[in-house]
């Protein structure tokens, strides 16, 4: 497995590797969900192609300094996991090699980011779009794989690629879960034991709301009320947001007439978890 720590090294390594190149961008602290993305990338690239990953904790997408400071960065373990997953190339830049000290250009998305995480994390998706575009420019991948747990992120990246004519195929991958239903996340390791035991209620709340669909319910209010009731029964959890949005535009809907997404973010102490569920009319 090859590694590169600077854009210059990355370009040299890519020049020596075969196409197609499929990229899995990550912020490290890798878990099984990330590894599944890498395995999907291998399926797309084929045995003769190149699977590449980036491990970069992007400072400009964090809205809370404490969250950035606490984000785990076990680089050596991450590299070993990449090697075991059959990754061919890993890019591990420092922040000062990704951003010039006087940088003045940022990519701004101003529609799909108005709700959900974008409403409570100002500047977050500007940071995401900027770093993903930089990675696309550096790697020039044929395809890139992203998890559907970050549904809003995936939708925004697809829109960015569409609007800016970026020649890369975006591939979504279903959320990977723990046996108890909790969506896998690098932040799960920071949960206190009682919080970890309680956290699967996030998935149960969303599934409970979805159970209203076969009963003929289509108004948004009962879905939101059912999910919120279950979430707020926790003595530990604080709801950041709970919204029902159109699956394509990410705008709030009053009735489910097209595919919609019920999405939530919740805090356990300082740890923020997200999840979502698709609702089909």
Domain containing 266 — which CATH number? 3.30.1300.10
Same domain, 89 and 215: no
CA distance 36 to 48: 19
In this prediction, residue 36 carries a pLDDT of 98
Based on the domain organization, do 157 and 195 belong to the same domain? no
Domain that holds residue 264: 186-276
What does the pLDDT look like over 251-275, one tens digit per residue?
A: 999 999 999 999 999 999 999 999 9
CATH code of 152's domain: 3.40.50.620
Q: Quick one: 59 and 119 in the same domain? A: yes
Q: Residue 178 falls within a domain, yes or no?
A: no
Is 239 a domain residue?
Answer: yes
Stretch (H or E) spanning 127: helix 124-139
Instruction: Tally the domains of the chain.
Output: 2
Say how far apart CA 184 and CA 203 lie, in whole Å. Answer: 12
User: Could you say which DSSP state residue 184 is in?
Assistant: P
* Residue 107 falls inside a structural domain: yes
- Active-site annotation holder among 31, 34, 115, 195: 34
31 is catalytic: no
Do 244 and 166 belong together in one domain? no
Does residue 202 lie in a domain region? yes
Query: How does strand 237-246 pair with strand 50-55?
Result: unpaired
Residues 253 and 203 in one domain: yes
Tell me what pLDDT residue 37 has.
98
Residue 228 lies in a domain: yes
Looking at the fold, whether 49 and 152 belong to one and the same domain comes out as: yes
Whether residue 260 contacts residue 249, with contact meaning beta carbons closer than 8 Å, is answered with: no
In the listed set 142, 173, 204, which residue is the last one of a domain according to the structure?
Answer: 173
The Cα-based distances of 126 to 7, 12, 111, 235, 244 in angstroms read 21, 29, 12, 34, 23
Q: Would residue 240 count as lying in a domain?
A: yes
Domain end residue (candidates: 140, 173, 206): 173
Which residues in the chain come in under a pLDDT of 50?
none
SS3 of residue 17 by DSSP = coil
Question: Which of 121, 139, 173 is a domain's end point?
Answer: 173
């Amino acid at each position: 497995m090859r590694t590169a720590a600077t854009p210059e090294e990355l370009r040299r390594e890519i020049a020596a590797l075969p196409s197609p190149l499929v990229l899995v961008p990550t912020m490290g602290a890798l878990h099984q969900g990330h590894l599944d993305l890498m395995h999907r990338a291998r399926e797309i690239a084929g045995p003769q192609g190149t699977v590449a990953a980036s491990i970069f904790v992007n400072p400009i997408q964090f809205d809370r300094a404490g969250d950035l400071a606490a984000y785990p960065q076990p680089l050596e373990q991450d590299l070993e996991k990449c090697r075991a997953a059959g990754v061919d190339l890993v890019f591990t830049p420092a922040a000062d090699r990704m951003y010039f000290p006087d940088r003045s250009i940022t990519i701004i998305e101003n529609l799909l980011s108005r709700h959900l995480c974008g409403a409570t994390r100002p500047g977050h998706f500007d940071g995401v779009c900027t770093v993903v575009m930089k990675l696309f420019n550096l790697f020039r991948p044929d395809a890139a794989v992203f998890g559907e747990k970050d549904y809003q992120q995936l939708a925004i990246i697809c829109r960015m690629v569409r609007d800016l004519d970026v020649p890369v195929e975006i591939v979504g991958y279903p959320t990977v879960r723990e046996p108890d239903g909790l969506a896998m996340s690098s932040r799960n390791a920071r949960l206190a034991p009682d919080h970890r035991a309680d956290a699967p209620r996030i998935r149960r709340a969303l599934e409970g709301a979805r159970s209203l669909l076969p009963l003929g319910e289509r108004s948004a209010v009962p879905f939101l009320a059912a999910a919120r009731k279950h979430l707020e029964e926790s003595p530990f959890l604080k709801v950041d947001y709970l919204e029902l949005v159109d699956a394509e535009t990410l705008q709030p809907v009053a009735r489910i007439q097209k595919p919609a997404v019920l999405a939530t973010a919740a805090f356990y102490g300082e740890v923020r978890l997200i999840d979502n569920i698709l609702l089909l009319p």
